[in-house]
Structures are given as structure tokens and as C-alpha cells.
Amino acid sequence: MTATPPRVRLRPAEELGLAAGHWRVDPALSRASFAARVVGQPVRGCLPLTGEVLIGEPIKESTAQLAARSSAISTGSAALDRLLAGPVFLDAGAFPEIIFRSDLLVWVSAGWRAVGRLQIKNAEHELACQLELYQGDPTPAGQPRLVIASEWVIDSRWITSQWIPGLSRRVVITGSFCLKP
């Protein structure tokens, strides 16, 4: 069981409690969840996240690389998982990972934004996403944790080139990942 992080958005001038340097994404506490509509019905699922973040000085020079294994998709339905991981959608056999690499981290009046590239099925797409940063519960050893929540909206044509009746063009992905030293 994981604790829900407090909803206090960290601003650039506030202390994050993280030292500059490399931080790993804790796969036990990190995932990307998605929602789309197919034939008018909602389809929801998730993928575990791994990766690393380089906290820079200043913070705007920070970078991240997140990866999700395509074959690890989970919707609660084994048949739907096989379909989504199969050649019509993610094609996990040929493209085992979905990768996001950030190029820029910036604070705007509406909050943090990351700009980068999302690689799906060997094609890169420019992507901007909204981020919210929270202090997470410390590790059992007392080390700080930072929880980053993100939201991305991608085009379903990035996932499949086949026409699927009733598949919405917008796929909303929300990510939550926890950094550890």
C-alpha cells in the first residue's frame, strides 16, 4: 500500500529536498495509466515505469528518461492485454519499450511543464506534458522521495495505423513516478 502524496505543488523557489545528481525511478511505486474510448466504451489500463532522472543545477536543466515495457500492459482483461500488446496496437514483440526523454523542464504560471520526445513503435513524437511535484514519504532509510505526477494526451494514430471502429483519437496518459537515490 502506498500513501497518497500531499497535494502541495512545489514551486521552483521551494526546497525539493533532492540533491543534484542521478535519481532512479522506483518501479514499485511508478506507473503510467491510460484511458481511451473504443466503440463508446472506456478502456483503462496501466504500464509500470522505470527510468532515471538527472536533477540539475539549476533545476530547469534537469532531464528524465522514462520507459514502459509494452508487453506489461494491464487492463484487467487478459484478452484485451494480448490485443493491446499485439501487432495491431503496441506490437510489443517488435517494439518492447515506450520511451519518453525530456529536453526541457520549465516553470510557467500554470505550473511545471516538460517538453521532450515520446518514442512509440520506433517513431518519435514531440510531446509537452504537465507535471506536479510532491514530497513523498521518505524511504525506510529516511532518504527523501519526490513524487512526480504527469499528464499527457497523445494521438491514437501513434499507437495504431489501422482503423478501429469507435477508437477515440485522444488517449490520455497519467503518470506517477517516485524518485529514489
> 3-class DSSP state for residue 74?
strand
32 burial via Cβ count (<10 Å: 0-12, 13-18, 19+): buried
Of 9-23, 80-94, 156-170, least confident by mean pLDDT is: 9-23
Name residue, grid cell 508487453: 71
Kind and range of the H or E run holding 179: strand 170-180
- Fold category of 21-180 in CATH: Lipocalin (2.40.128)
What is the per-residue pLDDT across 113-123, written as a single tens digit (0 to 9) for each? 889 999 999 89
- CB under 8 A, 24+ apart: contacts of 114-123: 114/64, 114/150, 116/64, 118/152, 118/154, 118/158, 120/90, 120/95, 120/154, 120/158, 120/159, 121/90, 121/91, 121/94, 121/95, 121/158, 121/159, 122/94, 122/95, 123/158
Half-sphere exposure of 177 (CA within 13 A, CB side): 27
Report the SS3 class of residue 80. Answer: helix
CA 25, CA 11: separation in Å to the nearest integer?
21
- In the prediction, which pLDDT does 12 show? 54
Indicate the pairing of strand 41-55 with strand 31-38: antiparallel
Answer whether 0.85 is exceeded by the pTM.
no
Higher local confidence (pLDDT), 25 or 105: 25
Q: Where are the domains of the chain?
A: 21-180
pLDDT digits (tens, 9 = 90+) for 4-14: 444 445 555 45
